[in-house]
Amino acid sequence: MSNFVFYDFETSSSNKYWGQIIQIGAVLTNDNLDELDRFDARCRLSPGVIPEAMALIVNKSTPKMLKNSNLSHYEMIRQFVETLKRWGKATYIGFNSIEFDEEFLRCTLFQTLEYPYITSTNGNTRGDVLGLARAANLYYPNTLKNSVNEKGNDVYKLDQMAPLNGIEHGDAHSAIGDVMATVGIAKIISKKAPNVWKASMLTMDKTQSLEIIKKELFFCTNEYFYGRSRPYVQTFVCQHPQYQWPLCFDLRHDPTPYLNMPLKELEAAMKKQPKFIRTVRHNKHPVIMNPSYGDKFDEYKIIGLTKLKERADMVKKNKNFAEKIQSIKRSEVEEKEQSKSQEDLYNEESIYAKFTTAEDNKLMPEFHSAEWGKKLSVISKFKDERLQYFGKKLLYMEKPEVLSKNDYNLIHKDIAKKLLSTNNEKWNTIPRTYSEIDTLRAKFDKQEDKEKLNILDEINAYVEELEKHYSSA
């Protein structure tokens, strides 16, 4: 078994393209979840980054705290990357990390001239404790204690789950505090729901995950929506023509009417509810359980394992059915591509538009190791214009005196234009932040929450400084 890297970020915004990581917490553990090493760092806000007021309040960070950090954002990311290299091959895992932290990390690495996919390449794999927690409670009720919302659904919020399960979480919404709470939740799952934990170890690698789904005659997995985990006993049909996700048949449905259905009728049937074709995102750490777990749930228990197996066998043997499903999905992809907006992406948003070349990837370490005065010459070697842009932007933030006057002014004016915009932009703006501050101030005035009001005053002063600095651009 490999080591684990449990990690968590506090950020200036929920927007992965335009926000900034302001705090990183990471703990290296062995496969028994014993701590071996840790990384804990906070950085300053980068020039031109305007935080969302509520994000700082949740993180209990103030502009003053961030200003006082001895690390710039670039320096913190460099230290983190070097730490990960030293820790070696591992499984990267967090709480809602696949949907949030990892996406934020990828965009951050892309914009700081690092290879973005470190968590899922070079022998590294990834997992998510949030998905594990939901699966554990589904298959083994009360594995974890949860608070309940007004709709009667379990709440899967780390700051609420940790104390309910006897986990010390005094530093809620600090990166390292959230990491230690996540490790605590993982330990409970591994002890109280060992079969779920063992199953999850097999699907942290996307290739292995896909192999299991394709190989097994049928299996049990779960999805979470509308506040509940829902079980599905399924069998593999084919892969999505664009995303390569496994498309599977839900065996609560009798496949007989669908197997030889004409293409147009099948296409219409697939648009109706409940769905008989479901997607299993093999690259997002699904928990694949033995199909016998279906017996825990009435909708499958009433059918029985023998019948479910027969249905799975029928679907597996019908190659024509698989071809029709793939054809329908291919048409959907083509239709979507045709109707897709032709709007140009900003460099910051373009991480998935095209991959960086191997040649440019090899230049990245050269950029980082070069002295500041020589980084410009490395930047000029990048073939990808996006990387040239990010390189010059890093110099603007770290060593502006290295840039030519023209390059400095171009970047400075671009940031000013973005920050001062009165339009409804993709990124946070100064006018939007003032509006957010006013709304929150009215709320916290009513609650007489002096601590939060003081943070708002600090944020307001910081925004005024930014406005003054960039208004003259």
**382: helix, strand or coil:** coil
Query: What is the domain-level CATH number for residue 40?
Result: 3.30.420.10
Which residues, in sequence order, are CB contacts of 64 under 8 Å at separation 6+?
458
Domain housing 381 = 348-471
Q: Looking at the structure, do residues 228 and 249 belong to the same domain, yes or no?
A: yes
Both 104 and 235 in a single domain? Answer: no
User: In the chain, how many domains are there?
Assistant: 3
Instruction: Look at residue 168 in the predicted model and tell me its pLDDT.
Output: 84
Q: pTM of the entire structure?
A: 0.94
Residue 23, beta-bridge partner list = 10, 42
Are 380 and 297 in the same domain? no
Same domain, 26 and 131: yes
**110 and 239 fall within a common domain:** no
Phi, psi of 383 (to 5 degrees): -80, -35
Amino acid at 352: Y
Domain boundary among 176, 195, 214: 195
- Cα distance between residue 285 and residue 94, in whole Å: 12
Phi, psi of 219, deg, nearest 5: -155, 170
Among candidate residues 317, 339, 361, the one where a domain is terminated: 339
For residues 225 and 319, membership in a common domain is answered with yes
The continuous run of DSSP H or E covering 435 comes out as: helix 430-447
Please indicate, yes or no, whether residues 210 and 291 belong to a single structural domain of this protein.
yes
**pLDDT of amino acid 61:** 86
Q: In angstroms, rounded to a whole number, what is the distance separating the alpha carbons of residues 128 and 136?
A: 12
Whether 224 and 279 share a structural domain: yes
DSSP per position, 300-362? HHTT-HHHHHHHHHHHHH-HHHHHHHHHHHHHHHHHHHHHS--PPPPGGG-TTTSPPPHHHHH
We report the CATH number of the domain holding residue 243 as: 3.30.1520.20
Closest to 399 in 3D by CA, of 370, 366, 365, 372: 372
Q: Which of these three, 146, 168, 195, is where a domain ends?
A: 195
- At 343 the pLDDT is 64
Q: Cβ(31)–Cβ(1) under 8 Å? A: yes
pLDDT of residue 63: 86
Do 208 and 150 sit in the same domain of this protein?
A: no
Q: Are residues 25 and 80 in the same domain?
A: yes
Average pLDDT for runs of 10 along the chain of length 473: 92 95 97 97 93 91 87 98 97 97 98 96 96 97 94 93 89 84 97 97 96 97 93 97 96 96 96 96 97 95 97 97 96 80 82 95 97 96 97 97 96 96 95 97 94 94 95 85
- Are 212 and 147 members of one domain? no
Check residue 334 and give its pLDDT. 87
CA distance 91 to 118: 11
DSSP 169-217: -TTTTSHHHHHHHHHHHHHHHHHHSHHHHHHHHTTSSHHHHHHHHHHSS
User: Does residue 318 share a domain with residue 359?
Assistant: no
